[in-house]
Amino acid sequence: MIRSIQVERARTSDLVTATVLGTLAVFMLWMIFSGRINSAENSAIPLVRLAGNHPALAKCLLGLACLIFLLGTLAMIGKYRDKTPAFSADANGIVDAHYDPAEAIGPISWSEIKGFSVRGKFGKNALVVELKHPHDYLAVGNENRRRNSARFMDEFGSPVVIGSGSLKIEIGKLYAACIKMHSMYADQSNR
């Protein structure tokens, strides 16, 4: 008998993004300190061409871009290291935080859930949480979550959709576990 589920977020894309941003930041630093910013006309870097024949301005623009890439790298490393479960379910219901803990929806009580389904789009499967009152959840979370919830509502008929690429579990296994837990806890939460 399954009493609770806690699923980690798939963090590979966070690490890849942090690596790319970090590499771009190092490249920008190399451009600034290598002394190669003398002639903007032949530069392949748009920021350097934008500065025209002003190497100091080009270095400032590259420095600003470098700072943005470094901040992005640090944010992605923080997201990569975050151990908050992306999806959890227990006797109280489910919590969906697969994008970001700041965008979490839940707990959604079992009595509010009609069921679950697996639907595909663009060759990937997603777990759709079918709610009795889905419109109540359109205003939950930050602006990004509300925008995603509205898009999910249009595409899937529910604001709570969990993509297969965002969790460290196969959607089919998560679907089966959620169905079992729903049948076990939905009757208890209606009492």
**Quick one: average pLDDT of 117-130?**
83
Residue pair 163/126 in contact (Cβ under 8 Å)? The answer is yes
Lowest mean pLDDT of 45-59, 96-110, 116-130, 135-149, name the range. 45-59
pLDDT digits (tens, 9 = 90+) for 61-86: 888 888 999 999 998 888 788 787 88
Band (pLDDT 50/70/90 cuts) for residue 37 is low
- What number is the average pLDDT over the span 132-146? 83
Q: How confident is the model at residue 163 (pLDDT cuts 50, 70, 90)?
A: confident
pLDDT for residue 70? 92
Q: Domains in the chain, please, with CATH? A: 12-81 (no CATH), 84-190 (2.30.29)
Does the pLDDT value for residue 162 go beyond 50?
yes
Q: Tokens 């190092």 sit at which residue? A: 26
Percent of the chain with pLDDT over 90: 13
55 against 15, higher pLDDT: 15
